[in-house]
Structure 1
Amino acid sequence: MKKILLTTLNSRFTHTSIALRYLYANLKELQDDAMILEFSINDAVQNIAEKLLAHKPEIIGIGVYIWNVSYVSELIHLLKKVSPNTKIILGGPEVSHEPFRVNLDSADFIIQGEGDIAFYELCVAILNNSATQRVIKMSLPSLKNIALPYRFYTDDDIKNRYIYVEASRGCPFECEFCLSSMDEKVRAFDLNVLLEEFELLWQRGARNFKFIDRTFNLNIKTANRLLDFFLEKKPPYFAHFEVVPDHFPDSLKAKISLFPEGALQLEIGIQTLNSEIAANISRPLKLEKIKENIKFLQDETNAHMHLDLIVGLPGETLESFGANLDELVRLSNSEIQIGILKKLSGTYINRHDIECKMIYSDIPPYDVLQTSTLSFEDIQIMKRFSRFWDLTYNSGNFKQSVKLIWQEQSVFERFYDFSAWIYSQTDSTWKISLQRLGELLFTYLCEIKGVNTEFVAKTMLEDMMKLKGRAVAHYLKKYADNLNINNKKGTSGFNKRQQ
């Protein structure tokens, strides 16, 4: 039995919570009486409550995020019904800024801000019956005083899940849609100590490192040393960094170009290429430098790029967004993640509400529903566009086939038409098998677009048969026979992209 439980609901099983491990690492003498129990949003809430209460805890600390806040509200309700004396402490982004848009009133305490040290102090007060302040607003703690969390990833975590790490906290930019803009000061951990911890993780078998720093390449000296850490290792491994798109000096480019294929992923938050819209949301946009860097990464490195665009920014039209997408596809073959603007509590995006007639949902994930330049119908269409883009373009299952939708024309306009057509056939964006999706793409290209059937079949077969063990889809069987492509027994359908 443990007095203190640390828990959260991750968005999927392969994720881990670095926040819980920070809290555990800093519990000092209370550590022996504490335990981390992680779940995912796919777990039944009543089962989660049962597993937590089986330990008869005095305190349960819960990390609350946009993807789990509704489930946490239900979990608190259950915990308090069954075990009203158990003290519940909430922390995380969804409780650090008001207004709260989900009912969390049943919680006993809330820590707003970085709770690495505050959680320990509150637990001591609770166990001594001296805790009186329900909402604790934290100032930024010195990173020198925080114990690092990395030794508290289990062997099972290392074997089966992503290991989240960070070299710094904070962001110097003021993008109005982002919570990181609330903490303008960038603070760095002691790099020598950090690299020692990473080496221990590596020796234990860790090979998937996802850095959560908002501006990995802001400090080039630090970035180069971190890249050196991985370059000195023998592949295979996977390192993910979120980078500033306009800041790639030659020393950094030289390092990035040395990574083998599949080892390095760079998440690049473009969001918009429209200078007027970028200025409107206080986002720096050095357009020519961004294009130059994307072209370098595309042409001269093996890095996998993950480029982000947002639908629904104040003042942006479908035409402007379409121009952004067309330009990114022209610059790179990389994954382009199309997101819908969200209004997070505490961000400054609300200053546009009246002028740009911004209407948002009050239900997580708090996405935009309508603007002065985009109707509700427009945004619904773009949500479907985004989903079908993920299934076809981003998935990698139709790498060359999907390009036949637009060929030399506007990517946005032609995929917009395809998205509308496929939705008319399915009336859904979910639970469409990859086999069915491929057949719909084949039908659209041949019957709606009028592309030569044998050419479409040949292109799709080349996409599908790149990996051994694939089976030829039934609608392509006769074309495979004509092209002397043998039906390969094994897994049927298509390759699913690793998330």
Structure 2
Amino acid sequence: MVQMCRMVCQSTAALVLSGYVSSTSPPSPMSAIVLATINARYIHSAMGLRCLAASLEGLDATIAEYTLRQSAVDIAADLLERNPTILGLGVYIWNVRLTLDVVQLVRSLAPSVTVVLGGPEVSHEPVDPSAWQPIVQRAHYTIRGEGETAFRTLCEAILAGTPPTGRMIDGGLPPLAELPLPYALYTDRDIQHRVLYVEASRGCPFRCSFCLSALDTGVRAVPLEVLFAELDRLFERGATRFKFVDRTFNLHIAKSSRILQFFLDRMRPGLFVHFEMVPDRLPTALRELLAAFPPGVVQLEVGLQTLDDETGRKISRRQNLEKARENITWLRTHTGVHIHADLIGGLPGEGLDAFARGFDTLLSWGPQEIQLGILKRLRGAPITRFDGVLTWSKAPPYEVLATDALDFPTLLHLRRVAKVWDLVGNSGNFVDATPLLWSGAPSPFFAVSDFTRYLMAQVGQTHGIALLRLLWLINDFLVEERGLDEETVRAALERDYTRSGRKRVPRRLRGDAGSRRSATTRRQARHLEGGAAPVVSPQGIT
């Protein structure tokens, strides 16, 4: 989501061309430097580690990656078996708790290991060391910002026996055009099983209060010829899934066009490319290129965040909503691009009715997915200027608990609505049944809200619900609570259930349906199989 501010090269650590070692393989031979992080899921690959590794050629280092499913004891044991002199850890909002436990274990079991931190979650500490968060206090050093240059300098000093006295080190802004690129450090296993993160630029020209990119001092670019050469090498190794982490992919149209043309010239089965798009900037040159891609190959993340003008002004979010509407509807009508749009709940001053209007309006534009996120207080982001009217959770991920326009029970319900919408509307599992939730209702959002309350009353949770169980809950809600025609509901659910190739149709559903396979991701394929998204007006489905 847009709030996560993928400042991918802010992991701290050290690594090198001596080799990549995953957490699932046997420990590598002993290394002077071990660079590690804890990813949210295995499919995610830590680009930040590889950026640092590419800048540390010649040093003895290895990478170790873990996931949130692993315990701190197991992670610490694996790290210490590598017997590092320096342990660099990338710290993010999703892994700071578990990483703190790892740091405490390492400091207790191996006091001689120098622990260095980096990443967005530890790059904005106060000046007073006594006010640092616990993980920073426990580490020997912390690098703020981008770490390619600063971390190498630190490692060389430590290994030479001349460590610096200051514990907080400013990473500065390394010259992006001069840094070696990290893509050779993606392993064959990464290429086969994980998303490969790519960057053509760093920085963002906008100043949205909720985002760490508001602190950027401009946009810096990677030379495209150099990037393309590296991407060609990945293609030669069989890579097909690329996710660009650029904050504003379509900021410079000429460069964006060259990147799109690069991938269009290399079309092949299974190709998938993700970009983050400025929603109100889609000139003819980009439209023509996007229209040339087969369905499902390109995914655009469109970070609208709010459709309420007054809220947008409060958070310094500048966007032309009419132009955004025109662009999104054009993409849905004329291309096979998969659109993933973002809205944030809990923004200062935005009440439930305004948020609902925004959701209903965005839904009428037809994006395949709408991610509903809850505002987070990212360390260092300008959103802290609203601390007087926003009440925050003190624990990661620091979500807002109450605002000047939403009390705690309402925000709690909104969080549940977001989870239910992801289960039903975004998953692609219920392409035909989802529009029935608001059929004849004045507001799609409040219809989904009603279903969320129904779900909580029936099962008491919005997670861990088996697909077939969720199917019957939707059926019963639509038939018994909404009074929709039973045959219409079950026909829609049957189409949804069999769309992805399931052949054993439950007894309560009738008929059979074929399936077809797609080269794109399973989640996108379900949307593609379901055809165009329904057009929704504030008064209901049309």
Partner of 1:168: 201
Distance 2:496 2:313 in 1: 40
Whether contact under 8 Å (1:235, 1:263) holds in the other structure is no
Whether contact under 8 Å (2:150, 2:170) holds in the other structure is no
Deviation of the 1:486 alpha carbon: 7.5
Secondary structure at the residue paired with 1:28? coil
Name the count of aligned residue pairs. 483
Partner of 1:368: 400
Partner of 1:346: 380
Where does the alignment leave 5 or more consecutive residues of structure 1 unmatched? 489-494
Deviation of the 1:125 alpha carbon: 0.6
Aligned AA for 1:11? A
Deviation of the 1:234 alpha carbon: 2.7
Aligned AA for 2:54? A
Secondary structure at the residue paired with 1:88? strand
Aligned AA for 1:257? A
Q: Quote the RMSD (CA, aligned, Å).
A: 1.6
Distance 1:142 1:468 in 2: 50
Deviation of the 1:138 alpha carbon: 2.3
Aligned AA for 1:128? A
| Greater CA drift, 466-475 or 49-58 | 466-475
> Structure 1 residues 151, 70: CA separation in 2 closer, same or farther (over 3 Å shift)?
same
Whether contact under 8 Å (2:296, 2:525) holds in the other structure is no
Distance 1:232 1:341 in 2: 39
Aligned AA for 1:313? L
2:282 aligned to which of 239, 244, 248: 248
Secondary structure at the residue paired with 1:67? coil
Distance 1:267 1:304 in 2: 9
1:283 aligned to which of 281, 302, 317: 317
Partner of 2:71: 44
Deviation of the 1:107 alpha carbon: 0.6
Is 2:74 the partner of 1:58? no
2:348 aligned to which of 311, 314, 327: 314
1:83 aligned to which of 98, 107, 110: 110
Is 2:49 the partner of 1:16? no
Distance 2:134 2:314 in 1: 29
1:406 aligned to which of 435, 438, 446: 438
Aligned AA for 2:285? S
Aligned AA for 2:75? I
Is 2:226 the partner of 1:193? yes
Whether contact under 8 Å (1:173, 1:184) holds in the other structure is no
Task: Encode CA deviations 1:224-248: one digit per residue, 9 max, x unaligned.
Answer: 1110111011322000000100110
Where does the alignment leave 5 or more consecutive residues of structure 2 unmatched? 1-29, 127-131, 516-521, 527-542
Deviation of the 1:129 alpha carbon: 1.8
Is 2:411 the partner of 1:379? yes
Partner of 1:324: 358
Whether contact under 8 Å (2:56, 2:152) holds in the other structure is yes
Partner of 2:479: 446
Secondary structure at the residue paired with 2:138? coil
Partner of 2:299: 265
> Structure 1 residues 469, 424: CA separation in 2 closer, same or farther (over 3 Å shift)?
closer
* Deviation beyond 4 Å, 4+ runs, structure 1: 99-102, 495-499
Matches within 5 A, 1:433-472: 433-472=466-505
Deviation of the 1:66 alpha carbon: 0.5
Whether contact under 8 Å (1:471, 1:487) holds in the other structure is no
Whether contact under 8 Å (1:69, 1:102) holds in the other structure is no
Aligned AA for 1:217? N
> Structure 1 residues 124, 286: CA separation in 2 closer, same or farther (over 3 Å shift)?
same
Task: Encode CA deviations 1:367-413: one digit per residue, 9 max, x unaligned.
Answer: 00001110000010001100000000001111110111101431011
Whether contact under 8 Å (1:277, 1:314) holds in the other structure is yes
Whether contact under 8 Å (2:377, 2:398) holds in the other structure is yes
Q: TM-score, normalised by structure 2?
A: 0.87
Distance 2:48 2:119 in 1: 8
Is 2:101 the partner of 1:69? no
> Structure 1 residues 470, 278: CA separation in 2 closer, same or farther (over 3 Å shift)?
farther
Deviation of the 1:414 alpha carbon: 1.1
Whether contact under 8 Å (1:177, 1:349) holds in the other structure is yes
Aligned AA for 1:443? D
Secondary structure at the residue paired with 1:35? strand
| Greater CA drift, 410-419 or 94-103 | 94-103
Partner of 1:304: 338
1:126 aligned to which of 158, 169, 186: 158
Distance 2:525 2:241 in 1: 12
Task: Encode CA deviations 1:10-45: one digit per residue, 9 max, x unaligned.
Answer: 000001011100111111321xx1101111111122
2:125 aligned to which of 95, 98, 101: 98
Deviation of the 1:467 alpha carbon: 2.7
The structure with higher relative contact order (CA 8 Å, sep 6+) is: 2
Task: Encode CA deviations 1:42-73: one digit per residue, 9 max, x unaligned.
Answer: 11221111111111110011100001000100
Task: Encode CA deviations 1:101-123: one digit per residue, 9 max, x unaligned.
Answer: 55431111100010011111000
Aligned AA for 1:96? S
